[in-house]
Amino acid sequence: MTSGPANAGPAELPPPGPGRLRLLGYNVRSLRDDRHALVRVIRACAPDVVCVQESPRYWRPQGQAAWLARRTGTVVLAGGGRTAAGPLLLGRPGVEVLAVHDRLLPKTRGLHARGFAGAVVRVAGSVPFSVTACHLSLDPAERYGQFELLLDQLRIAGPGVVAGDFNEHPDGPGWRLLAGRLQDGYVAAPWGGEFTSVPENPYQRIDAVFATPGVRVLACGVPHGLPGVTEADLRAATDHLPVLAVLELPTG
């Protein structure tokens, strides 16, 4: 454990280009914290796609997802509410949705319902690719099965990206299963910070971006020091820290 952010590199990110995607993974804790701080963080990260975890799903879920999309300059691509049990995909206008693949997962009696928000999309200059937002179980046995289902989810399209709150550390069996088949973005191209929960929790890495071998990871990490992202906003927005990745997709 460490008492502060682990900075793996400068705040500069690779510039936009054909086939490049800026993707943000973020657990927003059902918008229960400072919504304005959350919006400022997302806008400053300027993502093409946002993989949201813990989108509100009980009280006006579609309306709250629409509020977050509107305030962040994005549109709803998939998930949200009860169709994916919390995960939500947002994207900037211009991200083309080719298919939606939301999925409710098998539920263990007495545990929370879980799901994947998934879509096949295309950005300028890229081939179609799948993107999945997930929030995995706190129960170890159920969670391992959900890691296995993530690998099935990635068979929807050729290249693919998964971002989420995995509720597991990198030395856990499910994380190792995924990292054995996919690229752990922070390991492949560390940038910014490593730990994804605020200091009071304490700092730990349980949120990540994974990519299939056909995707080139250019940078990935918590956006400490990114222009427009303040430490005060990061702490006020939610109890997780976002993971920002810049990816280069195959072009067609």
Q: Which tokens sit at 191?
A: 């940038």
What pTM was estimated for this model as a whole? 0.94
**Mean pLDDT of all residues in 203-213:** 96
Domain count of the chain?
1
Determine the pLDDT at residue 200.
75
Model pLDDT for residues 155-184, shown as the tens digit of each residue: 887 899 999 999 999 999 999 999 999 999
Q: Which two tokens stand for residue 162?
A: 């998964």
Is residue 33 classed exposed, middle or buried when 0-12, 13-18 and 19+ CB atoms within 10 A define those classes?
A: middle
223 within domain boundaries: yes
Task: Indicate whether 9 belongs to any domain.
Answer: no
Look at residue 150 and give its three-state secondary structure: helix
Give the tokens for residue 180.
């054995």
pLDDT at position 80 is 80
Residue 103 lies in a domain: yes
Share of the chain above pLDDT 90, in %: 77
pLDDT band at 4 (very low <50, low <70, confident <90, very high): very low
The verdict on residue 128 lying in a domain is yes
Give the pLDDT score at 11: 61
Domain holding 56: CATH number?
3.60.10.10
Range of the domain at 145: 20-248
Q: Where are the beta strands (DSSP E) in the chain?
A: 20-27, 49-53, 75-79, 88-91, 96-100, 103-104, 115-122, 129-135, 160-165, 183-184, 207-211, 216-221, 243-248
* 120 lies in some domain: yes
- Residue 3 included in any domain: no
CA distance 45 to 226: 8
